[in-house]
Amino acid sequence: MSKTRTAPRWLGVAVDYGPLLAFFAAYELVGLRVATMVVIAAALAAVAAGWIWTRRFAFIPTMTAVIVGVMGGLTLYLNDPDFIKMKPTIVYLLFAGVIAAELATGRPLLGRAMTAAMPPMDATGKRTLLLRFLVFFVAMAAVNEVARRVLSTDHWVLWKVFGAIGATFLFGLAQIPLVMRHKLPEETAAE
């Protein structure tokens, strides 16, 4: 029986961004239909890689792969790009819903996965960070809905690949002062 291993940092980055980058490359080379097939395959491969390495299914990549499969499948079957363009909206709203449930119940659901790379924080800091993530995901869902309705597919792809990643990166950077203010002292975090 094999033991569970901790995944190396590069695997997390590959799982998080590999499917999106594969989608963009395929879109630029051959168009949306093939790019949709590629992102479905890449999302499944990312989940499989996580399983092979850690012997568990990580929630966020697995949930994303399911939504990519459903929405991508509808895009291919119905030949309608709106379904793959709605995928980010659904993912963002699902994340927001899970965070809202976590805040309401106090049970760690998505917050633990989102804050795993951060130093341990006090309860006030964690709650504030989760509230900010909740607002961010709702805002990103709204922005994606506007983008998919008013932008051409070419421009929507650019927004999805570069704009959404950039916005997420900037949002993360903006949270550093909060995290540092509410970081637990090292001796408390070790207990």
| pTM (2 d.p.) | 0.84
| Residues across the chain | 191
Task: Kindly list the distances between the CA atom of residue 178 and the CA atoms of 111, 117, 121, 126, in Å, as whole numbers in the listed order.
Answer: 15, 15, 10, 9
Alpha carbon 55 to chain centroid distance? 20
Q: What is the pLDDT of residues 9-39, one digit of tens each?
A: 666 677 778 889 999 999 999 999 999 999 9
Q: Residue 80: helix, strand or coil by DSSP? A: coil
Supply 189's token pair.
């975090």
| Residue boundaries of the structural domains of the chain | 1-78, 81-191
Q: What is the pLDDT of residues 113-157, one digit of tens each?
A: 666 667 888 989 999 999 999 999 999 999 999 999 999 999 999
Query: Could you say which DSSP state residue 183 is in?
Result: B
